[in-house]
Structure 1
Amino acid sequence: MDTSKFKNDKEFGKFDFLGKATVFAGVSALLVIASLGVIFAKGFNYGIDFSGGTEIQVQFEETVGTAKIRQVTGDLGFGSATVQSIGEDNEFLVRLGVIKGKDDAETNQRINEAIQTVTKGYQDQFQAAGVVIRRVDSVGPAIGDELKKNGLLAVFYSLLMILIYVGFRFDFQYAPGAVICLFHDAVITLGIFSLLQREVNVQTLAAVLTIIGYSLNDTIVTFDRIRENVKLFRDHAFAFVVNRSLNDVLSRTLLTSITTMLAVAAMLVFASGVIKDFAFTLAIGVIVGTYSSMYVASPLVIAVNNFTSKK
């Protein structure tokens, strides 16, 4: 986007955000395409919330190795179970996988039997190590599929309602930029999860929806300033107004992002388990959301404005 003709104007702003808008648009497009490619190629590492199965969280007073837990679990008849160390307090997450029966009643019975077998086996084998069963979660495969479908619908409906809200709150030339910006943030975040094969569960979905809300708030502040500056700089081009608006809200954007990242960093360092996973998702979202509010949403508003002006 050519903004060289505005640079001598003192009211243009200290930073030329739109001068490299085309470059950043290409980078964003590549990131989204790459993220979609990774998602389709590798898929997601779904937690039991979406894939179904049984998880048992155990903690030991004495140090116990992952290999030993895996061996004991295999001896109990669950050789395909996975064992994951969580935190630094001798805590482990044991996933038994999906257990099916001929009908719901038999499935529930077999799940309960499996839970009793594993918990009793651990208490017998690790009695000296001071084993404590912290948590047991079980989700049937049908419920997992239902949660997965409802999760996708939640994201879809949130984007749809945001499209309608922004359209009425500002103008429909702003709405596509806001929604594409949020789609950009969500896809890149999920692409990183797919690439790293981090577990995707209900908490991850909650974090993604939080990212959408955070990024939307940042974008709305920028759009609001653009709308105000359109009235103040009536004789200037729309691209000039957008760049001036980005400069106006820059300090607010950076301060909000930095203070949010401080809180997220604290959770990443001091928390564990679900809270740490939630913080990891938010950390990605804050960085990507801050970038997209400046280099995705605003240039798209200009593109839509240019398109509608030609009609």
Structure 2
Amino acid sequence: MIPRILIVSDNSDSRSKGLAARLSRRGAVVATLPLAAIAFDTGSPSGLSIPGFDGTLPDAVLVRSIAAGSFEAITRRLGVLHALGKLSIPVWNSAQAIERCVDKSMTTFLLKNAGLPTPPTFAIEGRAMAEAIAERELPFTPLVLKPLFGAQGRGIRLIEALSDLPAEDEVNGVYYLQHYVPRPGPPYRDFRVFVCAGEVLAMMSRRGDDWITNVNRGAVPEQVSGHVSRHGETELPALARAAAAAVGADFAGVDIVPAADGKLFVLEVNSMPAWSGLQSVAAVNIADAIADALLKFLADRAEAAATTRPYRFTAPANS
């Protein structure tokens, strides 16, 4: 059977094109659509209408990006992913995993609940509660304020005094505050580990003059090398795999920061990660590896379905 794969992407970027090309080379039929183009339609046999699928459903869905929109639009788009999951269509990543990763407060809750090292974190509403947290914590450590929904380092601030806290309208009334992890610098370093189907595909360190070490802010990707050994080379992949599992992500970019004393902390798990910076230093082709993992998952699933025989109840004969 030729698998039909739907890539969900709101822009035709190089990563989406690369995934489509690599899946096609492996014999899959691939379509790329934004979630906004998929409709709920109770007149359809599945309840969904997907352009190009003639009333049928794909064999799997790979989510690359979801465009910004109103609360109603985002709710509907995630609802489409929930519906696909309800119809037993594999969705990488599932709506639930995306929701868990987009909401940083839920991510840190799940990481802590799984026993993984993550900095002490507080997510509260209202400036009065934020000031109470800051007054209690600032004598011991600076705090990092992050947007609850945000990516690529945008909107992050270092809070060292109460006056550094922004007004409520600047953060939509929600303050996500996390202990700053002290580390040597500049240059500053952290790690991005890419996990797919429970395996680590690639790792890099990011070196930058800014303590916010995102590549789009000027940090330089580097191969993970000898300087990691004091943290334990095997500790990074194990921690990243556990973090991806904690949020239920099929593939993810896990951000890990080393403290000055060498202890590692998981900061974030990205369910729709970019990988251009990582690819520049990785030995493996990441798009190839994702395509192979998804197709292997579908092949294993088909084989399991073919070899599973339904249980048939046979009534005992009357004695």
Scaled by the length of structure 1, the TM-score of the pair is 0.25
Q: From the CA coordinates, give the structure whose radius of gyration is larger.
A: 1
Higher relative contact order, structure no. (Cα contacts within 8 Å, ≥ 6 residues apart) = 1
Q: Which has the higher helix share?
A: 1
TM-score by length of 2: 0.24
